[in-house]
Amino acid sequence: MEKLRKALAAEHAAVFAYGLLAARTSGEVRRRMSAAYDAHRAQRDRLRTLITTRGGRPAEPDASYALPFFPSDAKLAVKLAVQLENGVAAAYLELVSARDVKVREHAAAVMQQAVTRAYSFKPDPPAAFPGMPVAASPPASPSAGSAGG
């Protein structure tokens, strides 16, 4: 039950933060922040149901949440969104050890969604081989220069 409550706390924080982020952005970024807000509200409601059906009492959200920094522009809003999603994924990671198969499957699916959202907010795709130097251009193929040779 404690792990479900930790995930619920992460969802409460995400709903709070995405409400702020959607209000402070515009255009496509606002659309994506609003979609994330809706996704986290749905997950929050699902967790509340899971806790209630297991005889627990879900915690209510706090009045406000401390943010690691204030998102004063769209770039910082995106940076905060990535941190939020990473935090949500970490909270659900604890649920993948649950005895209930449905809870484990749900946790795995939500983690995948959170990581996907985090990467979708990042401006550049992750390195294919982290730690390996990136070549300016791929080396020429030996057969690229020979025509019929």
Q: Which residue has the higher pLDDT, 121 or 45?
A: 45
Question: Read out DSSP for 92-136?
Answer: HHGGGG-SSHHHHHHHHHHHHHHHHHHHHHSSSPPPSSTTSPPPS
Nearest by Cα to 80 from 94, 70, 88: 70
**CATH number assigned to the domain comprising residue 84:** 1.20.1260.10
Q: How large is the C-alpha radius of gyration of the chain?
A: 20
Q: Is residue 112, in this structure, part of any structural domain at all? A: yes
pLDDT at 141: 62
**Amino acid, res. 13:** A
User: Contact, 39 vs 127, CB < 8 A?
Assistant: no
Q: Which domain holds residue 95?
A: 2-56+66-121
Q: What is the pLDDT of residues 60-103, one digit of tens each?
A: 887 888 888 888 888 899 999 999 999 999 999 988 888 889 88
Kind plus residue range of the DSSP H or E element containing 132: none
Q: Is residue 49, in this structure, part of any structural domain at all? A: yes
* Domain total in the chain: 1
pTM of the model: 0.75
